[in-house]
Amino acid sequence: MSPSSADHGGNHRCPREEEINGFGNDHAEMSPPSTASSMTLPSKEREKLRRILIASAKGFSIGAGIKGGLALFAILARLTRKKPPRKGIAVTNSEAILAALKETLRYGLFLGTFAGTFVSTDEVIGALAGHRRTARWRALVAGAVAGSSMLLTGLEDQHTSLAIYILMRAAVLASRCGIKSKRFGKFCKPLTWKHGDIFLMCLSSSQILSAYILKQDSLPASYKFFLNKHGGKDLVILQGVKDIASGKPFTNLDAIEKYYKTMGVNVKLNPNMNVPCSIVHGNQSCGGHILSFLVQAYKRALPVYLPVYLIPALIVHRKGLVKRPCTILAKGLIGTARSSLFLSVYCASAWMWTCFLFRLLRRCNVPMVAMGTFPTGLALAIEKKSRRIEISLYCLARAIESFFTCVADAGYLPQSRRIKRADVVVFSLSTAIIMHCYAEEREVFRSKYLNVLDWVFGVPPPPCETPRCKVG
């Protein structure tokens, strides 16, 4: 990518080799620079520095904006919560606000450094080896180098889920490139399956929701908190379901009865029960429970998706907000309502399908929990088509991590030497692929992502500035 491309956007022309490299052509060191070129050198250097600083600032604004927006809604929900915090979670509001500010700063620095490092590496390689000569691989190397900025999110914190998710995104882009390819197109044909995203969601749901009930330690802490909130069930209820599914004697029936009593419901649980419906929803019928749960789940989902739609609208559609604010805001509110419906139906259907299967077969065990949570992923059909693959890949990344954690804890994986920060290695590999596709295969990106990348890094040079261009 050339420094000038960030400023001129789509107004492309085929410049001379001297303009592309900024220091004359690739063999400029063989001849002394002219007086004119010596005079223009400082301005070109200033332009490169400006590109680096602008990319860093924009990257910081995205990282801090997204993390800060999510943190703000979480704090507002905390401040308006009427229930007292559970025992053992004695975090004051001031501590929560301070932690949110730290996380916001961390992720702002992470994306700001990523953008700055990518542009810096891109410019250094171009200056040393020539922009045209390195066009095919420069973004690949710069993306790999920039991936190490993940360390700014915490030197000791593993971000395996994030790294796997970005790897999934890179795999999608690589597969789209493969589909276009004459050589690899036939091998990538299965990836064009129309409802593949829903199948992936069903597959991911089977692992994630099974882990939510049976082995929460296999899930990332933040995701576990998310599931416990939107799963809508107290931990004592989940423990009761876990006991009956694992075939173990009940350990907390009294605690479950006491929990329901605090909710104003008197429940007497049978220690010889075969299905856990009375544990899950007390004296309610399965159908009545699903309907009441769906309403409560929708109320919990709305605050989740407001920042998801509002913040990108402020960043991606910042110009359109001035010209047609009502249209863009209405679109965001409709998207929020639709996505909230997806999440609430997803959570409600998880209990619906498991209740249905347990009552149908009159038993509950681990395989049936996995089977009952598989069709939960069908709720993804509610979402807009362009968002389905994003959500399914996000969940697939967490499902993969949870699955291998469960397998390792069960002793089926041999202990081997671990790379201390494998997440950084995977993330760097993924960002190398993504940034290479951005520079060389722009058509494989969705327009909304391309707009964000162009805003941060500047529009890459047109084809006439790459090695594919025939220089006359």
Amino acid residing at 404: F
Task: Give the pLDDT band of residue 444 (cuts 50, 70, 90).
Answer: confident
85-89, 166-170, 273-277, 449-453, range with the lowest pLDDT: 85-89
Helices H / strands E in the chain, number of each: 18, 0
Q: Secondary structure of 136-177 in the HEC alphabet?
A: CCHHHHHHHHHHHHHHHHCCCCCCHHHHHHHHHHHHHHHHHH
Average pLDDT on 218-233 reads 88
pLDDT at 173: 85
pLDDT digits (tens, 9 = 90+) for 149-164: 888 776 667 777 788 8
Question: Would you say residue 472 has pLDDT above 50?
Answer: no
Average pLDDT on 189-204 reads 80
Question: Would you say residue 45 has pLDDT above 90?
Answer: no
pLDDT at 421: 77
Return phi, psi of residue 110, to 5°.
-60, -55
Task: Give the pLDDT band of residue 414 (cuts 50, 70, 90).
Answer: low
pLDDT digits (tens, 9 = 90+) for 73-131: 777 777 776 555 554 445 677 877 888 888 888 888 889 999 999 999 998 998 888 88
pLDDT digits (tens, 9 = 90+) for 366-383: 999 999 999 999 999 999
- Which of residues 63 and 20 earns the better pLDDT score? 63
Average pLDDT taken over every residue of the chain: 80
Q: Using CA atoms in the order 209, 211, 213, 217, what is the torsion angle rounded to 10 degrees?
A: -140
Task: Give the pLDDT band of residue 316 (cuts 50, 70, 90).
Answer: low
Give me the percent of the chain exceeding a pLDDT of 90: 32
